[in-house]
Amino acid sequence: MSYKILPVSHRICLFLSFIFLLLFLPLSTSRSGIDLDNICTNFTCLLSQGYSSAIVRALKSSGESDENAYTNILNAKQAGFLSVDVYIYPCRGKDASAQVDLIDPNNLFSSSFDFFYTKPFNDFRKFKRVRELLNLNDTFILNEMFKMVWIYIDSNPSMGCGWSSYSISSNCEFLKKLVKALESKGKKVGIYSSRDKWTQIFGNEDYCKEFANYPVWYSHLDQDPSFNDWNLIRFGGWTKPAIKQYDKNIRICECQINSNFF
């Protein structure tokens, strides 16, 4: 069996066509994700709807562990989500390091167990969930629950937890303490905010640029899953975003979520 060798000119044309495809038709790596604070037991349904990443609240605006965090993380991982991160909603009036300690996986488990255990067992699903938590705690590798922690920089409605009572410079220092405390525990850190909230808390959209080397997750509720708006609303010294929160308070798969573009 003989093979015909293409002329040099033909081979050059094929090579140039291949280069064109690489340069001008890149593969898309974007994906859809959610963030949530309410309990969700149907992550498999969310996965079927095209969501593949989750960011779960681990610290409430009051500076307390979120009793829903452990269960949500567990459910998302078991459903097959590609990535599961957490976010903390820090209380400005409480110690930064102490709040970071509260999202230790063992504390999240204890918070979740205490919440279910102290409630009346008038719902069989709650009783079943407590049993699952107890059985899975031994086999689930707690330190591998999450690697990425996003710090939620937004106005805080909880009593004694707002940012407005403090100076701009001290607010920036407080954020530094949060980042340092998280990194000391081996966590990767990202920042969540919006141009408006960043300006309110730090006085100017360009102030507190020390965090520009960390990934930024920004909020702009324009219902557009893209980064096309970034250059118009950028802040904090960041040049490009990692995640965009583009819609909120969506009810889907019996879960209350916010939609994000990755």
Structure-token pair, residue 75: 């459910």
pTM, full prediction: 0.81
Indicate the average pLDDT of the chain. 85
What tens digit of pLDDT does each residue of 45-62 get?
999 999 999 999 999 999
Name the amino acid, one letter, at 220: H
What tens digit of pLDDT does each residue of 214-238 get?
999 999 999 999 999 999 999 999 9
Closest to 242 measured CA to CA, from 13, 12, 31: 31
Just give the CATH number of 30-208. Answer: 3.20.20.80
Q: What is the pLDDT of residue 1?
A: 47
